[in-house]
Structure formats: structure tokens, C-alpha cells
Amino acid sequence: MTEVLNEKKSVAIHAANLVENGMIVGLGTGSTANYFIEELARKKREQGLKITTVASSVVSTIKAQKAGLELMAIEHVTNLDLYVDGADEVTPDLTLLKGRGFDLVKEKLLAKACQKMIVMVDQSKLVDRIGQNFPIPVEVMPFAWQLVQKSLQDVGGHGELRSNSSGDGLAITSHGSLVLDMTFDDQYDVANLNALLNAIPGVVEHGIFEQLASLVLIGSHDQVEQRWVKPDQ
């Protein structure tokens, strides 16, 4: 566990070293993203790094505010230089699964808007296929959840609404949605599944990030491996 924490921190420090003066930088959400925020704040304090940040969640907003980073509201953003975030799964073609947290909507908006998305993971996040270790989170409009669940079941999906952490209610995302955690029979490749989820009415967002990552940084012991997306992808 300590090793994983150190890998998260070292990969976050590596990512922060790729940030340059004058950049607009999107801040992801999660424990690795928190290390990245802390390191950016340290660079600002100690090295005078001049950047503007855009947060992907309430949690990363608070973290960045407390750390003294300059924040811009997502409403004011039309493009950004970098978006730096963690992920739950990464496949060999750098497709991501995200959304163990509750902030898929802003995360995918920032991932789409940025010039370059940098993803920070440790080796435990590397998988052969999306859905290998985690269900696929599907954020749904609250009143649509049963209709969406039925649509997903009709195409071979299985899953239920996510519970809150104490198990006595439902998880609500920061966008005010419910989450269906879904598994799918193996007949789908990820591109088809991505397209299928994008097309279901009532789905607000889902956790497959296809063709959005530019660079994945993989922390392993005291080294960081870089995997760039191939030019033809």
C-alpha cells in the first residue's frame, strides 16, 4: 500500500514537471490528482510557476483553493493546454475507465477540451480490456434510471444503482445524477460499447474515455514509464 502511494506521488511529480509557465491546466480528481495539485502548488510557491487551473470536481476545487492555486470556472473555459488526471483502468491502446469518483461530466469535458491529456497511474491500473477490474459507471438522469437500465440489459448489460458509502442510500454524483455500475458480456469491443452508451437517451455520461488520453505515465517502483498514444490512433 505504501508503495502504491509512493508510486502515485512520484508519477504526479513527473506530470507536474511537464507543466510550463502560462499554461491553463485542468485538475483531475482522486488521490493521484491530489498529489499533482500539491506538487503544482509547491512549484508555484517555491519556483514561481505561473499557471491558471480548472478543476474537474468540487473536491479538486477545494484542494486547489486551499493550496493557493489560481482557479478559473469551467464556464469560462474554451480550451486548455493540459488536463492531468488519474484513471481506474488503462488498456494497451490508452483507452481509460474513469468514474470510481463522482465527477465524470466535468472530467470528460476537460479531457475533450484540452490539447493534451496526461494520465497518471500505477501498474495495478493496466488491463487488457475495459471492465476487467471495475464495472463501467453510467451516470443517469435520476428519473431515467430504470429506462436506461432496461436499455442496457437489452444489449447484454448487468448492473444496479450504486449505493452511497454507508450503504443506506444511493450515490449521487456532483452533477446530481445516479450511477449504474454495469458489466457487459464480452461481445462488445470498447469502441462499440462507447458508441452504444453515448446513444442511449437518459445517459448523462459514462466512464469510457476513448481516444482522449495523449500520454499515460505509469509509476512502477521508483521509475515512471511514459506511453504516448500512437499517431494513427
**Active site residue ranges:** 107
Q: Residues 3, 20, 22, 31: which binds ligand 5RP (CB under 6 A)?
A: 31
Nearer to ligand 5RP, 98 or 206 (CB): 98
Tell me, letter by letter, the H, E, C secondary structure of the chain. CHHHHHHHHHHHHHHHCCCCCCCEEEECCCHHHHHHHHHHHHHHHHHCCCCEEEECCHHHHHHHHHHCCCECCHHHCCCEEEEEEECCEECCCCCEECCCCCCHHHHHHHHHHEEEEEEEEEHHHECCCCCCCCCEEEEECHHHHHHHHHHHHHCCEEEEECECCCCCCECCCCCCCEEEEEEECCCCCHHHHHHHHHCCCCEEEECEECCCCCEEEEEECCEEEEEECCCCC
Residue 103 as a binder of ligand 5RP (CB under 6 A): the answer is yes
Q: Residues 26, 30, 131, 159: which binds ligand 5RP (CB under 6 A)?
A: 30
Residue 107 beta carbon to ligand 5RP: minimum distance, rounded to whole angstroms: 6
Residue 28 as a binder of ligand 5RP (CB under 6 A): the answer is yes
Residue 186 beta carbon to ligand 5RP: minimum distance, rounded to whole angstroms: 23
Q: Residues 13, 83, 94, 101: which binds ligand 5RP (CB under 6 A)?
A: 101
Interacting residue ranges for ligand 5RP, rule: CB under 6 A: 28-33, 85-88, 98-101, 103, 107
